[in-house]
């Protein structure tokens, strides 16, 4: 209830995007392997962005 108006951080947005891409990759893996690999590669790029944000966060702390 109290988090209703709380804005998502950039890290949370990227994590949601990562989960969506992985779900799409899994669904495509049954029908189109090449497209599945593309979605997986996109998810890996998102993972790198998340890690970069975490590294910056640890540096500031």
Is 20 inside a domain boundary? yes
Is 51 inside a domain boundary? yes
pLDDT given for residue 57 in this prediction: 82
Q: Per-residue pLDDT tens for 34-46? A: 999 999 999 999 9
Query: Can you tell me the distance from the alpha carbon of 21 to that of 38, in angstroms, rounded to the nearest whole number?
Result: 10
Is 2 inside a domain boundary? no
Is 24 inside a domain boundary? yes
Is 39 inside a domain boundary? yes
Instruction: Write the DSSP assignment of 2-54 as a string of letters.
Output: TTTTPPPPHHHHHHHHHHHHHHHHHHHTTT-HHHHHHHHHHHHHHHHHHHHHH
pLDDT given for residue 20 in this prediction: 97
Q: Per-residue pLDDT tens for 11-42? A: 999 999 999 999 999 999 999 999 999 999 99
Is 41 inside a domain boundary? yes
- Considering its fold, how many domains does the chain have in total? 1
Domain that holds residue 21: 10-60
């Amino acid at each position: 209830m109290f988090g209703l108006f709380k804005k998502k951080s950039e890290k949370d947005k990227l994590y949601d995007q990562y989960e969506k891409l992985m779900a799409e990759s899994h669904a495509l893996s049954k029908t189109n392997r090449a497209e599945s690999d593309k979605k997986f590669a996109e998810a890996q790029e998102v993972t790198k962005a998340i890690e970069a944000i975490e590294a910056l966060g640890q540096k500031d702390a």
